[in-house]
Structures are given as C-alpha cells and as structure tokens.
Amino acid sequence: MSTRAMGPATGWSWLARALNLGRGNPKAVIGAIAVVALLAVLPSVMQMILQPRLGGQPTALLTVAGLSTLASLIVFPLLIGGVLRVIDAVERGRPASVGGVFEPFRAGHGAGRLVGFGLLMTALYLLVFGTIVGSFGQDLPEWYMQLVQLTVDAGGKPVQPDDIPAPPPGLGMVMALGLLFGLFLGGAYAIGFGQVALGGRGVLAAIGDGLAGALKNLLPIVVMSALAIVALLALTLVVTLVGGVLMLVGGLVHPALGALLVAPVYLGMILLMYVVMFGVMYHMWRDICAEPVAPPPLPDHLVEL
C-alpha cells in the first residue's frame, strides 16, 4: 500500500482537526478517550501504593516498573486500537459508543496484530535508542542510576543541585539524536498503528507503511511537534495560573476545598492532551494512508453552469 507525502502546513492541520475531534458524536469519542486516560493512570497509582512497602529499594522499584510496563505493552495497544476505531466510526458518520474502546478485546477483532505491532515497535524503539546511547553516551545508564538512588535517598525531599552528579559527555548528542529519531518513530507508530487498527494491514506491512510514511512526512511531523510544544507550554501556563487562583480561593475556606476546585482543571488538561494525541494519530494516518476522502458535491447552481 502506497503512502502519501503531505506539505509542511499539514502539521498544523493535524493539530487543528484534533482539537475538533468527535464533533459528530462527542459522547462516544471523548468517553472512549477518557476511559483510556483513566486506565493509563493505574500503573502509576499501583507503583505509588507499592513504593512504601518495598522499602525504597531501587531493584524492587525497577521490578515493579518493569512489570507495569509489560502489562501496558499487552493492554494498551488494544485500547488504542479501540479508540481509533471509535474515532473512525464517528468521523465517517457510523454509529459508535464508548464501549467500542473494548472491541479489540473480543475474539476475531485483530488483538494479535495490535499487540504484535506494539511489541515490535517497542523493540525498534529500544534498538534505536540503545544504539544511540551505546554510541554516544556509554556512561548515561550509570549516571541515571545515580540519579535514581539520589532521589530514593532523599525520601521525598527536594534534591539539592550540588548533590546532582555532573552529566557524562555525549549527553547533548544523545538528546539531539533522541529527539530526531523520537519524532520519526513517533510518526511511524501513529501511521502504522492506524494501518493495523483501521487499514487491515499485517504487523510487518504496517511497520513498513509507518516507516515509509514518516520518512516522507518528516517535515510536517516536525512542524506539528513544534506547534504542539508551544501550545502545551501555553496551556500549562494558563492551567497553572487558573489552578493557583482556585487553590488560593478555596484554601481560604479549607485546603481540601482548594484541592477539590483545582482537580477538574488539571484533569481537563490531561484529557485534552489525550484527545489531541489520538486526534493527531487518526488524522495523520487518514491523510497519509487511508483512501482519499471524496470531495463534497458542488452546489446546484454551479452544477448547472
């Protein structure tokens, strides 16, 4: 299946259309995305609950994090596939519901392909970034473990800047290459996942489509990412200011009231980020891989001409 190359301005279009996601059935789309956002928090909550019981041992903490990551690699590809199918149904005017997010969990709905794609792309991520670190930042893993141990020893207190070990040489190169390949592989993941979930492609074919599509569209992906970073900084600033005012006003009555007033603001921000993320994934796939959308019919007076 061939992939299309889009112009740089398409990066802005992906963001704009993502913000307008689910206009035909917002209950189904936003509800499905909210389910995924809620489930995505569970691994972190479990780690927070287990952390005090593990005595702050780095090995035990990394083991729990590893098990949580493994569970996520199995479950979340299915949820992402379900969300994309709900979005596609709404965008094409077909019936959809929040429960559609769990459709891939049922037999015969491509669960194996979704999980297989997620696992192979994760392996590709690890291979690429492992190669970058091994080539330009051999001392980075040891430095990172020192930071982890420093955080554990601090016991929740702020770490003093003088206690942070100096970063090893090569950190700048690793970050630059990591950003470039991260954008490329992120685009390949979005495009390829759409191919598996919506295009009916096999795992290897979808990975090939994703890599080819991302390579052809690296410029609009960079434009979209730059605009997304600027928008995220602006959103964070607004949410921080609004949250600070609500916390201050609510705190005059009781600290718990302040927290209660602030919580919907931050939860809304998180949900908006998920909506934009899935919206960009869907529209990126649709522009690059899906069949072109038929143009709307001409008005009657133009047809007569």
Percent of the chain's residues with pLDDT above 90 = 56
Tokens of 124: 């590709």
Tokens of 19: 């913000």
Residues contacting 117, CB < 8 A, separation 6+ = 77, 192, 193, 196, 203, 206, 207
Residues contacting 183, CB < 8 A, separation 6+ = 218, 221, 222, 225
Least confident of 75-84, 263-272, 283-292: 283-292
Contact 150, 163 (CB under 8 A): yes
Mean pLDDT along residues 86-99: 93
Residues 238-280 have pLDDT tens digits of: 999 999 999 988 888 888 888 888 999 999 999 999 999 999 9
Task: Enumerate the domain spans of the chain.
Answer: 10-293
Residue 108: alpha-carbon gap to chain centroid = 26
Tell me the pTM.
0.84
- One DSSP character per residue, 141-195 reads HHHHHHHHHHHHHHTTSPPPGGGSPPPPTTHHHHHHHHHHHHHHHHHHHHHHHHH
CA 111 → CA 18, 93, 189, distances in Å?
A: 25, 24, 17
Residues 195-227 have pLDDT tens digits of: 999 998 999 999 999 999 999 999 999 999 999
